């Protein structure tokens, strides 16, 4: 199975930016505009990594992360939270939900790509 990264964000521009970053690295992407759609895709596509925003209208990125991490069959999938929120409390909430990594926008291309590759290569280890 090749590397597939699921990008979850209700903002189309944010999805497009991350897609562009990953496409430059020849990494296949899947996209979802909300948490429920993402959850359905995760179960059928089993991505190598989920990159999710926090604030979405149906389910937060934290809730999506918890759902993934609490799943016996999907809990190994790494989750990266990418958000405009950047306080220590936001990062702590992401870690408490089981996130493997946390990044604030705006994204630095080289740092983002390095972190994606690290998570994909490492699998389910938590930072």
**Total H helices, total E strands in the chain:** 5, 5
Q: Which residue has tokens 């990159």? A: 51
Q: What is the pLDDT along the chain (127 residues), one digit of tens a residue?
A: 579 999 999 999 999 999 999 999 999 999 999 999 999 999 999 999 999 999 998 899 999 999 999 999 999 999 999 999 888 999 999 999 999 999 999 999 999 999 999 999 875 444 3
Q: Can you name the CATH fold of 4-47+59-81+100-121? A: Rossmann fold (3.40.50)
pLDDT on residue 127: 38
Query: 3-state DSSP call for residue 47?
Result: coil
Residue-wise DSSP of 88-100: HHHHHHHHHTT-S
pLDDT on residue 106: 92
Q: Which residue has tokens 């189309």? A: 12
pLDDT on residue 57: 86
């Amino acid at each position: 199975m090749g590397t597939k990264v699921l990008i979850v964000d209700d903002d189309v521009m944010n999805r497009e930016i991350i897609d562009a970053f990953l496409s430059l690295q020849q990494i296949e992407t899947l996209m979802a505009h909300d948490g429920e759609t993402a959850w359905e895709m995760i179960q059928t596509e089993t991505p190598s990594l989920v990159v999710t925003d926090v604030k979405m209208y149906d389910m937060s990125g934290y809730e999506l992360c918890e759902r993934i991490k609490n799943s016996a069959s999907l809990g190994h999938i790494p989750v990266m939270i990418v958000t405009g929120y950047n306080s220590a409390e936001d990062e702590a909430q992401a870690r408490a939900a089981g996130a493997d990594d946390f990044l604030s926008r705006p994204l630095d291309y080289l740092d983002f790509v390095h972190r994606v590759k690290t998570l994909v290569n490492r699998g389910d280890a938590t930072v």
